[in-house]
């Protein structure tokens, strides 16, 4: 009785199974792509991040002109970088905790406005103390923006490192645009030209105020999981070291071209532009690499490539050929950038604002705190001495990267 009833069934079932592999293939090892609406939000947050970090990029872009126009020493000039770093680093952990605990939807646009107005006014005042305080205020605006924006961007990006790299690359674009937009104005008008950069912050703040946050269900899904503090602290160490190398290079690269390679200000501005353009490319490339090879390997790759790139930049003679290595150095240092932001939020899924505040803000800004020490080195040995030191800076990041684990692995 069982034989006749079972015989017709084998020929009937083979047709449905071929349809099954198509859906399963899209959910294999690679993260699923965010929906189209999420990509729109990522572009908006990437644009906002670009405007915000424009004001961080304007600080090193303006430093040489404060030296030339106001007669600041190397130490005084690096103190301006210190002011921006202090303003953005000290408050960020507390702001990140507040963002995770309370609904602070208007914090990001408010931070944008403060960052732009503070930096824009800094070139209009004469006393050094007033300049320093205004740049400190601008850094505080950056501290207000990053945790809130980083949390919102992660909610829109989901599990895609490529999508998160759009947000992170926005910051690199802001740094890139700073010398491109500022150098012609600063050359023509002096440091008072910073006033022209107040309107972008105000306009972008209005755009963010009109933005609707993502659904609560998305926020709840993004916060699921167990917080893992030990790998997060290791990751923070990597981010601090990467930031130290980045801020050291971005602060002194123009002076390296002017004082050591004996070029003019225009070619020195091109060197900074190449370095920051490499940073944009490296940030986007890092997200692509992470979606294919994994986030930890991408962080390790960035540390591995940064050392030879910096050595080549330091030792290559001439004024034009080193521009290539300025580009490659920016690329290598920024390959891990977006990955550090996403990996930090994966380690602390219950505290995305805190994680963003540390990886985007505190760790990055602490790197700027070494500026006075590098300024003292430049005072004693010239800008070339700074780049000699920077050749060794990425080594600790490479070592720390060996202790990182993927988020789904055990401690």
**Distance (Å, whole) CA 378 – CA 132:** 20
Q: Locate 383 and state its tokens.
A: 């800008």
The DSSP secondary-structure symbol of 34 reads: P
Q: Locate 274 and state its tokens.
A: 């190449």
Confidence at residue 161, expressed as pLDDT on a 0 to 100 scale: 78
Q: What is the pLDDT of residues 152-200, one digit of tens each?
A: 888 877 777 788 888 888 888 887 788 788 888 998 888 889 999 999 9
Residue 7 lies in a domain: no
Number of domains composing the chain:
1
**Distance (Å, whole) CA 108 – CA 165:** 19
Confidence at residue 101, expressed as pLDDT on a 0 to 100 scale: 87
Q: First vs last Cα of the chain: how many Å apart?
A: 58
Task: Tell me the Cα Rg of the chain.
Answer: 23
Q: What is the pLDDT of residues 49-62, one digit of tens each?
A: 999 989 988 887 88
Q: What is the pLDDT of residues 254-276, one digit of tens each?
A: 889 999 999 988 898 889 889 98
Largest CA distance in the chain: 102
Contact call for residues 223 and 349 (beta carbons, < 8 A): yes
| Residue 2: pLDDT band with limits 50, 70, 90 | very low
CA-closest candidate to residue 310, choices 327, 297, 289: 327
Confidence at residue 216, expressed as pLDDT on a 0 to 100 scale: 44
Contacts with 259 (C-beta within 8 Å, 6 or more apart), sequence order: 382, 383
Helix ranges (H only) for 158-189 are: 161-189
DSSP 237-269: HHHHHHHHHHHHHHHHHHHIIIIIS---HHHHH
Contact call for residues 163 and 109 (beta carbons, < 8 A): no
Residue 368 lies in a domain: yes
How many alpha carbons fall within 13 Å on the CB side of residue 53? Answer: 27
48 has pLDDT over 80: yes
Residue 142 lies in a domain: yes
Residue 23 lies in a domain: no
For 105-132, letters b (16+ CB in 10 Å) and e give eebbbbbbbbbbbbbbbbbeeeeeeebb
Q: Locate 324 and state its tokens.
A: 């290539």
Confidence at residue 28, expressed as pLDDT on a 0 to 100 scale: 43
3-class SS of residue 350: coil
* Per-residue CA distances from 391 to 249, 303, 384, 385 (Å): 10, 11, 11, 10
Helix ranges (H only) for 90-215 are: 92-101, 107-122, 128-157, 161-189, 198-209
**Distance (Å, whole) CA 4 – CA 140:** 80
3-class SS of residue 383: helix
Higher-confidence position of 31 and 379: 379
Residue 243 is part of a domain; what is its CATH number? Answer: 1.20.1250.20
Q: What is the pLDDT of residues 378-404, one digit of tens each?
A: 888 999 999 999 999 999 999 999 999
Q: What is the pLDDT of residues 108-145, one digit of tens each?
A: 999 999 999 999 999 999 899 999 999 999 999 988 99
Confidence at residue 370, expressed as pLDDT on a 0 to 100 scale: 76
Confidence at residue 24, expressed as pLDDT on a 0 to 100 scale: 41
Confidence at residue 196, expressed as pLDDT on a 0 to 100 scale: 94
Contacts with 260 (C-beta within 8 Å, 6 or more apart), sequence order: 382, 383, 384
Residue 4 lies in a domain: no
| Residue 65: pLDDT band with limits 50, 70, 90 | confident
- Domain range spanning residue 115? 38-401
**Distance (Å, whole) CA 280 – CA 286:** 10
How many alpha carbons fall within 13 Å on the CB side of residue 378? Answer: 27
CA-closest candidate to residue 348, choices 290, 407, 398, 303: 407
Q: Global pTM? A: 0.74
């Amino acid at each position: 009785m069982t034989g006749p009833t079972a015989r017709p069934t084998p020929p009937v079932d083979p047709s449905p199974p071929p349809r099954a592999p198509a859906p399963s293939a899209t959910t294999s090892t690679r993260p699923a792509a965010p929906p189209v609406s999420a990509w729109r939000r990522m572009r908006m947050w990437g644009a906002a991040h670009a405007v915000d970090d424009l004001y961080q990029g304007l600080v090193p872009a303006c430093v040489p002109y404060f030296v030339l126009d106001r007669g600041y020493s190397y130490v005084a000039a690096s103190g301006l970088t210190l002011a921006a770093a202090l303003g953005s680093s000290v408050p960020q952990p507390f702001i990140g905790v507040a963002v995770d605990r309370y609904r602070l939807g208007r914090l990001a646009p408010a931070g944008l406005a403060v960052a732009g107005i503070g930096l824009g006014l800094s070139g209009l005042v004469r006393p050094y103390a007033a300049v320093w305080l205004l740049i400190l205020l601008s850094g505080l605006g950056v501290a207000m923006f990053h945790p809130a924006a980083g949390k919102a961007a992660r909610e829109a990006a989901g599990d895609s490192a490529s999508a998160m790299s759009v947000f992170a690359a926005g910051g690199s674009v802001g740094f890139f645009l700073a010398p491109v937009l500022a150098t012609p104005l600063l050359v023509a008008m002096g440091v008072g030209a910073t006033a022209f950069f107040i309107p972008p912050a105000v306009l972008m703040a209005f755009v963010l105020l009109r933005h609707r946050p993502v659904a609560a269900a998305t926020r709840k899904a993004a916060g699921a999981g167990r917080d893992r503090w030990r790998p997060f602290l290791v990751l923070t160490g990597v981010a601090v070291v990467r930031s130290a190398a980045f801020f050291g290079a971005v602060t002194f690269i123009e002076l390296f071209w002017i004082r050591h390679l004996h070029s003019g200000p225009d070619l020195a501005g091109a060197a900074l532009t190449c370095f920051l353009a490499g940073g944009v490319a490296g940030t986007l490339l890092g997200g692509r690499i992470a979606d294919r090879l994994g986030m930890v390997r991408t962080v390790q790759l960035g540390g591995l490539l940064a050392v030879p790139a910096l050595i080549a930049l330091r030792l290559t003679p001439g004024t034009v050929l080193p521009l290539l290595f300025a580009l490659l150095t920016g690329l290598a240092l920024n390959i891990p950038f977006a990955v550090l932001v996403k990996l930090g939020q994966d380690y602390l899924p219950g505290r995305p604002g805190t994680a963003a505040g540390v990886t985007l803000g505190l760790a990055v800004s602490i790197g700027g705190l070494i500026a006075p020490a590098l300024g003292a080195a430049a005072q004693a040995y010239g800008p070339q001495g700074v780049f000699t030191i920077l050749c060794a800076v990425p080594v600790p990041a490479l070592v720390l990267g060996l202790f990182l684990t993927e988020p789904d692995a055990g401690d």
